[in-house]
Structure 1
């Protein structure tokens, strides 16, 4: 037995976007208001997450919005040797405006505009939906550069990302623009099957949560995208059932310890703040197989 062709086709369809677009436009206009106390600073506002990546399904609700301070940037020097690190430090100029100051101003502005609908989380600022406005998470962050070289002559080589800090001071790095670009390329390489398949796995996850077969939080959408990003392009395609079968078989047979996140900057599986516990991934795949076998 297997999940039917019709069910897989239904699960592969993108969820509605009109209300999400309206929410993003509304919140963006508030964040970009010239009356805000931080407006003179250099910053950028953009989307991340399932709506940005066109992998949203009917169960998705929150709109993930990033406001990134660009007048300063943090650095990841892990890949530089001692000489390159010293060269970077010699050329470094400290900023006069901090991420803490920026976040304080952004939060105060959002509270002024949305009042009690604003809740401060450990990572993002949550804005409760109201009427036609969906729930929104606003991530206040700064630009990050992960350096790969810092030569004496010529331009340094680096990748742009974002970073923010948890209440305990832990710095979290992410690369949403790299994730987006890589997933767009993957979608093209798979002849438009990649995002379709991501939505199938997300809808199946939601169904298993509703039926009490897995716990909510076992398989976050970000990591499902990352998981399928590692499936070779030739494994995608054919009929709905063949596509699902080939992708799932590869995921069981592959050495998943070498899988990368969709941004290509971290391993997918691990025990850090930016990775997915291997046991959770394995449990999710076992549940997917069991569901498919019983369908």
Structure 2
């Protein structure tokens, strides 16, 4: 497919000025639903990081402490699909999972086990949302609870999660010295540990260090992926938008700023990726997990990049 500079400029732009309002609306309505069920807001809705839409708030009900956080492409201002839902992590903070190095246990930190299971937590959040939004407005899915939008509320996914504390780098037995992620337990499949706060902060920093061209090019590659899907190129179905955003996060900053022309800039980024020998060193945009966790994921991504280079025909 032929691409010119004007096309890539249009792809690089944020979806619309209403995206921020969608994020605010999503976190506000979930917060309101939980407050309707006895939670109180301990911190008002604020931005986790400037120049993002990563709104957050904290609530409490008895001993239960929850953080709501807008995450994903909306939070990172890299969304290119108008119909996508806003992801809001509903993170339980006071009950958490831990990772330790060999020889260290809960006893070293004075922690005790909780009988409150992740599946029960998801059920409790579901019941709270149903009580407020009404039957038929909330759909139970494998990883999330989808809230149906209407004329005054946003289509949203509430993602029940529990804080994950990784103490493997702590040698002081300091309970506050951990890498904080979130642990999602699907109905089917293995638990997933993600790092949304680090992803948001790293993306913001990368964007600033590239004169805001990082996220522009993320939007470009995401948009072209959808064009490839429309063209029935199967490799586009085997990589996620998050994987592509993370891939570009690993690319040296100078490639985003050397060329003023968007077409030359993107072509230079693609050429760098195509000739890369560092696939096993690349990380997700959170800077913690490997970009390709399995050989299959690596194969899928390399095939996508090969097909993308064939699909992308620059016209100067």
Comparing 130-139 and 106-115, the one that deviates more: 130-139
State whether residues 74 and 163 of structure 1, in contact with CA within 8 Å, keep that contact through their aligned partners in structure 2.
yes
- Deviation of 1:244 after TM superposition, in Å, equals 0.1
- Deviation of 1:224 after TM superposition, in Å, equals 1.2
- Runs (5+) with no aligned partner, structure 1: none
Partner of residue 81 from structure 1, selected from 99, 102, 108: 102
Q: How do residues 21-60 of structure 1 correspond to structure 2 at under 5 angstroms?
A: 21=23, 23-36=25-38, 39-40=61-62, 41-60=64-83
CA distance in 2: counterparts of 1:226 and 1:245, whole angstroms? 18
Q: How do residues 50-199 of structure 1 correspond to structure 2 at under 5 angstroms?
A: 50-77=73-100, 80-82=101-103, 85-86=104-105, 89=108, 91-95=110-114, 97-114=116-133, 115-151=135-171, 157-168=177-188, 170-199=190-219
What secondary structure sits across from 2:136 in the alignment? helix
Which residue is equivalent to 1:282? 302
CA deviation profile, 1:124-153 (whole Å, cap 9, x unmatched): 111222235332111001111112334356
- Runs (5+) with no aligned partner, structure 2: 40-59
Between the two proteins, the alignment pairs up a number of residues equal to 288
TM-score using structure 1 length: 0.87
State whether residues 19 and 134 of structure 1, in contact with CA within 8 Å, keep that contact through their aligned partners in structure 2.
no
TM-score using structure 2 length: 0.82
CA distance in 1: counterparts of 2:67 and 2:121, whole angstroms? 12
- Specify whether residues 64 and 190 from structure 1 end up closer, same or farther in structure 2 by C-alpha distance, changes over 3 A only: same
- Deviation of 1:30 after TM superposition, in Å, equals 3.1
- Specify whether residues 157 and 81 from structure 1 end up closer, same or farther in structure 2 by C-alpha distance, changes over 3 A only: farther
